[in-house]
Structure 1
Amino acid sequence: MYNKENMSGKEANMAEYVLENNILKVTVDSKGCEIRDVLCKTDNTHRMWNANPEGWKRVAPVLFPLIGKYKDNQSIYNGKVYEMGQHGFARDMEFTLVKHNDDMLVMRLESDENTKEKYPFDFALELEYHLIDNEIKEVYRVINKDNEMMHFSIGGHPAFVTPENDASMAGCKIRFDADRITYHLIGDYQLMARDEYELPLINHEYTIQEDSFEKDAFIIEGSQAGTVSLVKNEKPFVTVKFDTPVFGLWSCKSKNVPFVCIEPWYGRTDAIDFTGELKDREYSNHLDAGEVFEKSFSILFY
């Protein structure tokens, strides 16, 4: 379970918000507007990874304005080079509260002089969480406050554990609403390799192995699925529903697969052979001045 007693300094001062009904209790922190814990009241189990840094220090970060990495950690816009690290900066920034009640939370992040050093646009990012019975609906709202077209990626990275919080998820299955899934792997410098592979499915399911993620994330392009579940003993314990052009599956290497991330992405990391500018990134989103991008996905716990 997420525990602030294990944190120190600036992190310990983050504001914490709770959404709660008779099924779920969801804890969200202002840093990154990130879900940090989901308690399922029906069986008193915690369903998200606990942020143990020996495995992975995060739980469900929001990736913005970059998913994955730029090639050489750089993007070019209007002849200027901008440098930004993996998955962008939103996950490490403080969001401000817009609205909060028992079943809804809205928080906001705005561009400033620090973000403009890494990313050239004026923007506002609003994140909403809606609690509906056993479902968490996560809404992304990107507002282009600039006077020119804005280019960005955005996506989720939630890490799930079994209801029993097993030390390994090997033997559990990933169930797709598709009978065939092809994927790419992360190659050199955390960029996507172009080689394509097929996931071995039996009755729409892939069985997780201890070494499934030794070669890093599975990158699944082309809207191949819209419903992905984690299954144990033939029963799903979490389902993610989305309508994204790309999604990822990931767990930490060589750590006995204590969690699995199902990641809906509007965008992805650059490919190894990418040579374009910011506006040319594959699966990027392009938002005209003054326009609003709004998308959502849902997580259901059983």
Structure 2
Amino acid sequence: MSRALSVDRVVKVSINLAPLAAARRNFGALLLLGSSEVIDQGERIRAYAAIDAVAADFGLAAPEYQAAELFFSQSPRPSLLYVGRWIKEDAPAVLKGAALSEAEAALSAWTGITEGSLTININGQQRTVEDLDFSDAVTLEGIAAIASAALSGEGARLDYDGSRFILSTAATGAAAVLGYADGPLASLMKLTADTALAPVPGADAETPLEAVAVLADRSGDWYGLAFTDPGLAVEDHLAVAGFIEASAKSRIYAVTTTDTRVLDAAFGNDVASRLSGLGRRRSLVVYSSNPHAAVSALGRAF
């Protein structure tokens, strides 16, 4: 009877019972929460690696840009910033078309349209505007304005953001809905079902605390948090600070106050005194005439 070969001559097996290393947190990532409508309620958050991209999206006057500039101005420069959307007021439904190519964005492709029509599903009903004449338009923003004037009576508006056409409803709140557009003009604007992004329904306004709770897990590696709107009430700051303090993930909440009463030891109702009285350990308060000064401090630390 022949002897069997040892399995060790065919394959070698080793078992490693070492535990997996924990995933690394990014302690240099900041989340700025602002109410600008650049980021819609469907997207909610964007990542940025440089100030140029923030400027391109928000413009130089937006509080999101002004806060981001302080963050990226530190030396050494932080490498990751998140900007999130706080739905401060009821938001409309939105339909974003795909970005136009250079040829598609050429004005000559539009000025020959003198009897254009556009059909859109607005709040569950088909609406059509006709006789759109773009012959006198000099920019694509002008094209959007002509169509928007016609759509205003149907409960919608059209904008051009420099790369794409964007439809939105006049109605706001969670009840507002917007479907895809139809027809040749809709195809040119890339607002049809086979070209546009998915429609985003409207949304009801939320408190700062509700916004933070939603975004807490949208991108799990942000460590610092600051709002770009300077008008938050003290109670809102306290609510957000409490959420950050109780969260399982270690995070820091930064507040800038421009209230001069914070300098008076006899006044105890300012945000710094209230947070101190509550014993919050993961909140930072900076007094400054610059409403985003705390972001500068976090940028230096990060």
**Same fold by TM-score greater than 0.5:** no
Please tell me whether Structure 1 or Structure 2 has the larger radius of gyration of its CA atoms.
Answer: 2
TM-score band w.r.t. shorter chain = under 0.3
Q: What TM-score does the superposition give when structure 2 sets the normalisation length? A: 0.24
Q: Which has the higher helix share?
A: 2
TM-score normalised by length of structure 1: 0.24
Q: Name the one with the larger strand percent.
A: 1
Structure number with the bigger relative contact order (C-alpha 8 A, sep ≥ 6) is 2
